[in-house]
Chains A and B, each alone.
Chain A
């Protein structure tokens, strides 16, 4: 995801005068989850786009959109063309519950639902049927809370956001009045953060109902402290009790999952991350990773930011200490561009479209680079 790459770029540009960074992105537009994953009513979180844009404007940083690494070009080809490759492609899939009925109509992943109201092209035709009174969301992280909030927010609030038009129309006609946010463990273990919980509690025209039984023993555990105890290790234990909840839609929000990008990149399927040591991909020289694909798909901007800084510092250290072989000149984008253009026929239709964001970038042409196009879309 671009934001993770751009934090790495931040560090490089400051430390080395001759490092060139090429950022390859599958979508034609940059920013990844910041654009497609942040809830439309949280525009302030998207302010970080300004920081990224600034970084991307650096004279030695170049953006290449519409390039699907692993399909259009292999990691092996990238490694041949560059001294180092950093994988920061995030987590695009969702974790499956592995329970019967997961594929029924009316069961969606939160990732798809969020993509639908945020304008991700592949989710445009999701058409969730909101003609039901109750929706059940499985999972209690920030994504689950975002989905609940979008489903129940007063329309006047949603109209002021950049939520997609089709989602706004569907929500205007929506009959959903009750959203159950279901988790396996207790209140101290919810993955969501306080800000989002507070938002749900304070949401106009709604009531937050919590089950008193869930809170038994909590005050003793907190022992009068104002700071909530991180009780992450508590495990859920089956009680054998069953409860039927009637609903018209189920949204599964139990976490994102990274996917392997290329056969030559090691991948640990159990944790769905690239096995690494502080960002250095194991058993592979010249390959690094940062962000969710490195440590798992959790955390806020500060988490990802610090993690990306760490990977960048490790890479710089390797450059300085000679762990990374810099003795041979590498062709970089020249070689990859040639390869992509050779193979590019299927991408021609989308390549020529002037995307608004690419227009934004190209208008800010750095005066030092009059001959080359700073931002390419293939």
Chain B
């Protein structure tokens, strides 16, 4: 933990500081309890051959490709890579919301680890829920997920749908 992060903890603050050039990870994420780690692998050291490619399809249908490390959750990836998904990960991975909801292809979904009751409870409240939905904070990357594509659900009441009838 960096000195500034330690100082913030001592002060009892739990605030994300964002400078213009670099993102610091949210403080509370460091002490989050992961309820269900789907990968048994230890977080790998950062070497390029250990990276996993992840493709996100955002709410506008655009594809964003990033490289991440095995062991990181999909929420970690979104935060660390500063991907611009509005409202994603509001509770910072503590299974208290459904804003990190992502949708997998069926064949990938079947390979993912078991879903806990706590994840299901939150997923039940998610918009655009599908049979291949999971919460991004509970899915940790493994080598076998290299190249995976996940889709962000559309928000409810898409304004484009209302144009004709309003």
Chain A residues in the interface with B (C-beta under 8 A): 7, 10-11, 14, 42, 44-45, 47-51, 53-54, 57, 193-195, 198, 227, 277-278, 300-302, 305-307, 309-310, 313-314, 317, 360, 364
Task: Report Cα–Cα, A11/B86, bound state, in Å.
Answer: 8
User: A42 CA to B17 CA in the complex, in Å?
Assistant: 23
**Taking the nearest CB of chain A, how far is it from the CB of B64, in angstroms?**
16
Closest CB of chain A to B94's CB: distance in Å? 3
Contact partner of B91 (CB less than 8 A), chosen from A14, A48, A227, is: A48
The interface residues of chain A lying within 8 Å CB-to-CB of B91 are 44-45, 47-48, 301
Contact residues, B44-87 vs A (CB, 8 A): 84, 86-87
Nearest-CB residue, chain A, relative to B87: A305
How far apart are the CA atoms of A53 and B27 in the complex, in Å? 13
Interface residues in B3-33 (C-beta closer than 8 Å to A):
13-18, 26-28
Task: For the complex formed, measure the closest distance between the CB of B69 and the CB atoms of chain A, giving whole angstroms.
Answer: 23
For residue B122, CB closer than 8 A to chain A, the reply is yes
- Separation in Å of the A52 CB from the closest CB of chain B? 9
Other A-B pairs, 6, CB within 8 Å; known A51-B16, A305-B87, A307-B157: A14-B86, A47-B92, A50-B27, A53-B16, A198-B117, A306-B127
- Most chain-B Cβ atoms within 10 A of its Cβ — which of A50, A227, A278? A50
Distance in Å: Cβ of A15 to nearest Cβ of chain B: 11
CB of A45 within 8 A of CB of B97, answer: yes
Can you report 28 residue pairs joining A to B where beta carbons are below 8 Å apart?
Answer: A11-B86, A42-B96, A45-B91, A45-B97, A47-B92, A48-B97, A50-B16, A50-B27, A50-B28, A51-B87, A54-B18, A57-B18, A194-B124, A195-B121, A277-B166, A278-B162, A278-B166, A302-B97, A305-B90, A305-B99, A306-B87, A306-B157, A307-B157, A309-B87, A313-B159, A314-B159, A317-B159, A360-B13
Query: What residue of chain B has the Cβ atom nearest to residue A280's Cβ?
Result: B166
With contacts A50-B28, A278-B166 taken as known, whether A198 is within 8 angstroms of B96 at the C-beta atoms is no
Chain B positions within 8 Å of A277 at CB level: 166
B125 with A10: CB separation less than 8 A:
no
Cβ contact within 8 Å between B96 and A44:
yes
* In the bound complex, CA of A306 to CA of B28 (Å): 24
The proximity string for B residues 146-166 relative to A, scoring 1 for CB distances below 8 Å and 0 otherwise, is: 000000000111010010001
Residues on A with C-beta less than 8 A from B15 are: 50, 53, 360
Task: Tell whether B138 is near chain A: CB-to-CB under 8 Å.
Answer: no
| CB of B139 closer than 8 Å to a CB of A | no
Given contacts A278-B166, A300-B125, A310-B155, contact A7 B118 (CB under 8 A): no
A47-B92, A309-B86, A309-B87 are known contacts. Are A302 and B124 too (CB-CB below 8 A)?
Answer: no
Tally of chain B residues near chain A (CB < 8 A): 36
- Separation of A195 and B118 alpha carbons in the complex (Å): 7
Chain A residues lying within 8 Å of B121, measured Cβ to Cβ, are 193-195, 198
B14 nearest in chain A by CB position: A50
Which of B13, B96, B97, B127 lies at the interface centre, i.e. has the most chain A CB atoms within 10 A of its CB?
A: B96
Closest CB of chain A to B157's CB: distance in Å? 5
Query: What residues of chain A lie closer than 8 Å to B126, measured between beta carbons?
Result: 302
A257 to B159, CA, bound (A): 27
Interface contact A301-B97, CB-CB below 8 Å: yes
In the complex, whether B141 has a CB less than 8 A from a CB of chain A is: no
Contact B90 A47 (CB under 8 A): yes
B95 within 8 A of partner (CB):
yes
Q: B90 contacts A306, CB within 8 Å?
A: no
Known: A50-B15, A306-B157. A193 touches B124 (CB 8 A): yes
Is there an interface contact between A302 and B99, defined as CB atoms closer than 8 Å?
Answer: yes
By a CB distance below 8 angstroms, the chain A residues around B157 are: 278, 306-307, 310
- Determine which of B28, B90, B118, B155 lies in contact with A301 in the assembled complex, contact meaning CB atoms within 8 Å: B90
A303 nearest CB across to chain B (Å)? 8
User: Contact: B18 with A44, CB < 8 Å?
Assistant: no
Contacts A306-B127, A310-B155 given; does A45 touch B87 at CB 8 Å: no
A143 to chain B, nearest CB (A): 16
**Distance (whole angstroms) from the CB of A51 to the closest CB of chain B:** 6
- What residue in chain A is nearest B99 (Cβ atoms)? A302
Task: Establish whether residues A195 and B99, one from each chain, have CB atoms under 8 Å apart when the complex forms.
Answer: no
Interface-central residue, B92, B95, B125, by most chain A CB under 10 Å: B125
User: Which residues of B sit under 8 angstroms from A14, Cβ to Cβ?
Assistant: 84, 86
B84: min CB distance to chain A, Å: 7
Which of A48, A227, A314 counts the most chain B CB atoms within 10 A?
A48
Is there contact, CB below 8 Å, between A7 and B87? yes
